[in-house]
Amino acid sequence: MDRVDTVLCCAAPDTRRHRGPAMFEAMMHGAGLPFTAPRGGVPTVVHGWSEPEWTLFPPPVGRRLVHQVYEMADLDVLAELCGAGTIAFKAGTEFTAVNRALGLFAALRARTGRPRTTRHWTPLVRAASWLVGRFGDEAGGFTVTVSGERDGRPITRRLGMTARQDGGRIPSLLAGIAVDHVLAGRLQTTGLVPLHSWLAPHELRTALRERGISLWRRDDEEGWRPWEE
């Protein structure tokens, strides 16, 4: 692309596997909490678990309701990397009622400022998540939608990945790949290391597929199809 305008990342975590208290504390703490995100190139105050929208994930995940989550590193990293004026990171479980309930809680907290702390809610929410998870699926997914301009024309590209089992491991995949590189002596730089400086696209695709991840692409308004080399 000649210019990148918007980057939208969407996560569909599995609900079968149970999470630890730290994840729930972060989720509840961010609900309704204000932070600044780029919108059309303008720093804009948004709130955690707001801006709901329906997103179509690749099979077997399908259609999910996702919300803007709390402040993520994407807001800074992607702005510097590709100059996008609008960046959002959204997520949603497979249970629409749960997503709507969290969105309602966030809206009330953003308006009233209460409760000021959510730590005492963690055990209750975690227990409810475990109960709901007994009826959930292990599949998980992630998509990236990039919109911009090429040769004077607007263009949108979508890439996705899914795991049919243990979908909650998707966020840790890059860390695992990095460990492989460190142990093999291929990654020796210390400190913050940009992904594209040590992992070529074809290496990333190979590493993901070796870990049971299916890769997808979607052009314009067509459906998802397997991403072939």
Contact (CB, 8 A) for 9 and 57: no
What is the reported pLDDT for 27?
Answer: 83
CATH 1.10.1740 fits 3-160+216-226, yes or no: no
Average pLDDT over residues 210-226: 88
DSSP codes, 149-187: EETTEEEEEEEEEEESS-GGGGGGHHHHHHHHHHHTTS-
| pLDDT over 90 (residue 215) | yes
Contact (CB, 8 A) for 78 and 147: no
Q: Which tokens sit at 8?
A: 């939208």
What is the reported pLDDT for 104?
Answer: 94
What is the reported pLDDT for 223?
Answer: 86
What is the reported pLDDT for 197?
Answer: 85
Kindly report the length of the chain. Answer: 229
Distance CA 117, CA 146 (A): 35
Which of the four pLDDT bands, split at 50, 70 and 90, describes residue 224? very high
Domain ranges of the chain: 3-160+216-226
Per residue in 120-164, pLDDT tens? Answer: 777 877 787 777 777 778 899 999 999 999 999 999 999 999 999
Ranges of H-type helices in the chain: 21-30, 74-82, 96-112, 122-133, 173-183, 201-210
Distance CA 187, CA 176 (A): 13
pTM for this entry = 0.88
Among 19-28, 162-171, 208-217, whose mean pLDDT is lowest?
A: 19-28
Q: Which tokens sit at 17?
A: 């596997």
Distance CA 57, CA 206 (A): 21
Contact (CB, 8 A) for 219 and 157: yes
Contact (CB, 8 A) for 18 and 133: yes
In the predicted model, what is the mean pLDDT of the chain? Answer: 89
Per residue in 57-78, pLDDT tens? Answer: 999 999 999 999 988 888 888 8
Contact (CB, 8 A) for 118 and 31: yes
Which of the four pLDDT bands, split at 50, 70 and 90, describes residue 40? very high
Helices and strands (H, E) in the chain, number of each type: 6, 10
| pLDDT over 90 (residue 46) | yes
3-class state of residue 123 by DSSP = helix
| pLDDT over 80 (residue 222) | no
**Among 104, 117, 27, CA closest to 72:** 27
What is the reported pLDDT for 220?
Answer: 67
| pLDDT over 80 (residue 15) | no
